[in-house]
Amino acid sequence: MAKAEIRIGGLGGQGVILCGLIIGKAASIYDGKHATLIQAFGPEARGSACSAQVIVSDEPIGYPYVKQPDVLVLMSPDAATQFTPQLKPGGLVLYESELIPKLPVLPAGARAFGIPATRLAEEMGRRLVLNIVMVGFFAGVSGLLGYESVEKAVLDSVPKGTQDLNLRALRRGYDFGRELLAQKKQETP
């Protein structure tokens, strides 16, 4: 990996910014890469559009804004509508499959993988960890970061007393992503 541009989109209250922060922290502090994070959110705290732009690179990053994402992490239908046209041809889309039942048309060669992150988080007892499920899914499918680096970044980023729940959410998303990749490889001749 020379450089990967990542855009995460969703709604305020879904943990979009924390998702980006953990990916950037895992890359820059624990994986020895360079990373930038730019965040954007609406004037209301919950329910408005929210996004994070993360760049991860082996080399220093001269411009911190994502121009054309290599990877999209989508947690709301509005984010899918807004950001999918910006995806690079051959890019990767990771999306919340129950909140986004149908993706917009993807660029040529793009791959898409869905996860019911909200439901999986609810099954663990806390809907709020859907973003950590998505971080695990990102790590499992994209292969851009080592699992241990992401795990350390989660532990360093979540409130004390929630570490066990967040690590279980991370592992659940990661395992779901690895299983999905294995299924896709078996389906491909």
Q: Comparing C-alpha atoms, which of 54, 45, 56, 55 is closest to residue 15?
A: 45
Full-model pTM: 0.94
- Domain 3-187, what architecture? 3-Layer(aba) Sandwich (3.40)
pLDDT value, residue 12: 86
* pLDDT at residue 32 in the model: 94
- Per-residue pLDDT at 46: 62
Mean pLDDT of 20-47: 87
**Domain locations in the chain as residue ranges:** 3-187
Chain segment 72-89, per-residue pLDDT in tens: 999 999 999 999 999 999
CA distance 184 to 88: 21
Nearest to 6 by CA among 66, 79, 90: 66
Identify which of 68, 119, 72 has the alpha carbon closest to the alpha carbon of residue 92. 72
pLDDT of the residue at 186: 83
**Farthest CA pair distance, the chain:** 49
Which percentage of the chain shows pLDDT scores above 70?
A: 95
Query: Which residues, other chains included, contact 135 with Cβ-Cβ below 8 Å and sequence gap of 6+?
Result: 19, 22, 23, 150, 154, 170, 173
Q: What is the pLDDT of residue 181?
A: 92
pLDDT band at 53 (very low <50, low <70, confident <90, very high): very high
pLDDT attached to residue 76: 95
Phi, psi of 175 (to 5 degrees): -65, -40
- Element housing 113 (H / E): strand 111-115
Contact in structure between 138 and 114 (CB atoms under 8 Å)? no
Please, which pLDDT band fits residue 13 given cuts at 50, 70 and 90?
A: confident
Coil, helix or strand at residue 18: helix
Helix-helix angle 147-157:130-142, to 10 degrees: 160
Q: What is the pLDDT of residue 33?
A: 96
Among positive and negative, which fits the CA dihedral 171, 174, 177, 181?
A: negative
pLDDT tens digits for range 114-166 = 999 999 999 999 989 999 999 999 999 999 999 999 999 999 999 999 999 99
